[in-house]
Amino acid sequence: MVLKNATILVVDDDADVLTALRLLLKPLVKDVVIEKNPNNINSHIERNAIDVVILDMNFSGLVNTGNEGIFWLNKIRKLKPEISVILMTAYADIDLAIKGLKEGASDFLMKPWKNEKIIETITTILRNKKANTAKQDNFKSSNIEIIGDSDVMNDVFVKLKKVAPTDANVLILGENGTGKDLIARALHDNSNRKDKPFIKVDVGALTSSLFESELFGYKKGAFTDAREDRKGRFEAANGGTLFLDEIGNITLGQQVRLLTVLQNRQVTPLGSNEPIPIDIRLICATNVDPKVLADEKKFRKDLIYRINTVDIIIPPLRERGTDITELSHHFVALYAEKYNKTSFSFDSGFISKLKKHDFPGNVRELQYVLERAVIMTDGIILKPEDLVFSSIERSPTSKNIETTSLNLDDIEKNAILTVLEKHKGNVSKSAKELGITRAALYRRLDKYEL
Ligand X SMILES: Nc1ncnc2c1ncn2[C@@H]1O[C@H](COP(=O)(O)OP(=O)(O)OP(=O)(O)O)[C@@H](O)[C@H]1O
d(CA 76, CA 55) in angstroms, rounded, equals: 10
Which is closer to ligand X, CB of 164 or CB of 427? Answer: 427
Member of 41, 215, 427, 441 binding ligand X (CB under 6 A): 427
Member of 38, 69, 100, 148 binding ligand X (CB under 6 A): 148
269 near ligand X, rule: CB under 6 A: no
How many other C-beta atoms are found inside a 10 Å radius of the C-beta of residue 243? 28
d(CA 361, CA 177) in angstroms, rounded, equals: 6
Member of 367, 418, 420, 429 binding ligand X (CB under 6 A): 367
387 near ligand X, rule: CB under 6 A: no
Q: In what order do the strands lie in the sheet with 310-313?
A: 198-202, 241-245, 281-286, 170-173, 310-313
* Smallest separation (angstroms) from ligand X to the CB of 146: 5
Angle formed at CA 250 by CA 246 and CA 256, multiple of 5 degrees = 130
* Smallest separation (angstroms) from ligand X to the CB of 367: 5
248 near ligand X, rule: CB under 6 A: no
177 near ligand X, rule: CB under 6 A: yes
- The pair phi, psi for residue 7, each rounded to 5°, is -115, 125
Binding to ligand X by CB under 6 A, coded x per residue (else -) over 304-343, reads -----------------------x----------------
174 near ligand X, rule: CB under 6 A: yes
d(CA 122, CA 261) in angstroms, rounded, equals: 52
124 near ligand X, rule: CB under 6 A: no
Buried b / exposed e over 119-132, threshold 16 CB at 10 Å, is ebbbbbbbbbbebe
* Smallest separation (angstroms) from ligand X to the CB of 2: 17
d(CA 270, CA 220) in angstroms, rounded, equals: 9
| Helix 438-447 / helix 427-434 crossing angle, nearest 10 deg | 100
Which is closer to ligand X, CB of 145 or CB of 449? Answer: 145
Q: Taking contact as CB under 6 A, which single stretch among the options 109-117, 140-148, 206-214, 270-278 is the one that binds ligand X?
A: 140-148
* Smallest separation (angstroms) from ligand X to the CB of 292: 15
Q: What is the DSSP string of 183-203?
A: HHHHHHHTSTTTTS-EEEEEG
Q: Is the separation of the CB atoms in 180 and 245 below 8 Å?
A: yes
Which is closer to ligand X, CB of 73 or CB of 146? Answer: 146
147 near ligand X, rule: CB under 6 A: yes
Binding site for ligand X (CB under 6 A): 145-148, 174, 176-182, 245, 287, 327, 363-364, 367, 427
